[in-house]
Amino acid sequence: MCERLRAARERAGLTQVEAADALSRPQNFVSKCETAERRIDAIELAEFAELYNVAIGALIPPPTGASGASRTRLRRVAEPTRRPTAGKPRS
């Protein structure tokens, strides 16, 4: 995600200082986000996306191993083969 964040900033034509000023943050905030020294919460990610004029999804890489048809599919859970009969107490 860090590489995508930096690339989006560069495509927007902003320096780290300019991005930080627009976000009302210090320059090292942007730097640490771009180098994974700091976690980014959802609100901050939305702010970066708005500033860089990109969709949030453009900043988030796909899950590891997920690609088209090879995505893991949900497995169905087997239903019980016998159901208790109504009205008959269990012993």
> Looking at residue 33, what is its pLDDT?
94
> Looking at residue 64, what is its pLDDT?
76
> For the whole model, what pTM was predicted?
0.66
- On the question of pLDDT at 70 being above 50, the answer is no
3-class SS shares of the chain: helix, strand, coil, % to 5: 45, 0, 55
Residue partners of 73: CB distance under 8 A and separation at least 6: none
Specify the DSSP class assigned to residue 39.
-
Contact predicate 61/1, CB 8 Å: yes
Residue type present at position 7: A
Instruction: State mean pLDDT over 34-53.
Output: 93
> Looking at residue 7, what is its pLDDT?
94
> Looking at residue 63, what is its pLDDT?
81
From 35-39, 47-51, 64-68, 85-89, the region with the lowest mean pLDDT? 64-68
Q: Is the dihedral of CA 42, 48, 49, 50 positive or negative?
A: positive
Which residue segments constitute the domains of the chain, with CATH numbers given? 2-62 (1.10.260.40)
Residue partners of 45: CB distance under 8 A and separation at least 6: 56, 59, 60
Residue 75 confidence class, pLDDT cut points 50, 70, 90 = low
